[in-house]
């Protein structure tokens, strides 16, 4: 009987093992699909963050250049003879560089450096090229603007309340961190891959 019973048990064993294998395989496939889905969602989120952050800089350039009626009134754009730095820098009323910013306000070099920075950072970040140079330049620009607004101050130099809502973190810090994050992540959409294949970029990785 034992000899005859053994063949009957063997098929059952193989079927059970196959069933367990199928269940394990299905679980593995589900886990892989879940990981791929999470990775894809993260990639899309970072790409969206990159494009929108770049657009913030590019739009600022366009508005200040052409006076589109948002932060810069119509007829007061850079092409109309207006200064993109005079209004902001001359209104600095707190912080350790208040007098320095006043002396820079409206200077030709300051206007050109600021506007070229906005344009270059905006185009680079939106297109996904030269993300690290753009992140460094953008972080430096945001740091200077943070110092100009000086969130730690509770009162302005004339004694009026500064209306600061946070002594450290404001939108300048968030923009700087966004630039660093998208540079570290690389460009999911855009011209990042063709840019990385250029000989000069392959030889100088800091241009990525």
With beta carbons less than 8 A apart as the criterion, state whether 139 and 176 touch.
yes
CA distances from 81 to 50, 58, 65 (A): 32, 20, 10
* 141 pLDDT above the threshold of 70: yes
| The two structure tokens encoding residue 141 | 């620009």
Chain centre distance of CA 4: 72
| The two structure tokens encoding residue 187 | 């460009």
Q: What is the pTM of this model?
A: 0.81
Rounded to whole angstroms, how far apart are CA atoms 122 and 131? 10
Q: What is the pLDDT of residue 203?
A: 86
pLDDT digits (tens, 9 = 90+) for 93-117: 999 999 999 999 999 999 999 999 9
pLDDT digits (tens, 9 = 90+) for 63-93: 999 999 999 999 999 999 999 999 999 999 9
DSSP 183: H
Q: Phi and psi (nearest 5°) for 155? A: -135, 150
Rounded to whole angstroms, how far apart are CA atoms 134 and 195? 14
């Amino acid at each position: 009987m034992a000899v005859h019973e053994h063949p009957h048990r063997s098929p059952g064993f193989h079927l059970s093992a196959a069933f367990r294998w199928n269940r394990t395989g299905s679980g593995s496939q589900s886990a892989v699909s879940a990981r791929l889905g999470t990775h894809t969602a993260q990639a899309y989120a970072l790409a969206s963050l990159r494009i929108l952050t770049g657009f913030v800089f590019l739009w600022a350039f366009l508005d200040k250049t052409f006076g589109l009626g948002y932060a810069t009134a119509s007829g007061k754009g850079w092409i109309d003879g207006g200064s993109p730095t005079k209004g902001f820098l001359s209104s600095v009323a707190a912080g350790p560089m208040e007098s320095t910013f006043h002396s820079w306000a409206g200077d030709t070099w300051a206007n050109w450096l600021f506007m070229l920075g906005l344009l270059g950072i905006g185009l680079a970040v939106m297109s996904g090229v030269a993300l690290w140079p753009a992140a460094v330049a953008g972080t430096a620009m945001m740091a200077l603007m943070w110092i100009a607004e000086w969130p730690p101050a509770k009162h302005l130099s004339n004694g009026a309340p500064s209306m600061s809502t946070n002594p450290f973190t404001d939108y300048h810090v968030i923009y700087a961190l966004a630039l660093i994050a998208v540079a570290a992540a690389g460009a999911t959409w855009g011209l990042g891959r063709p840019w990385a294949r250029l000989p000069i970029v392959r030889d100088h990785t800091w241009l990525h």
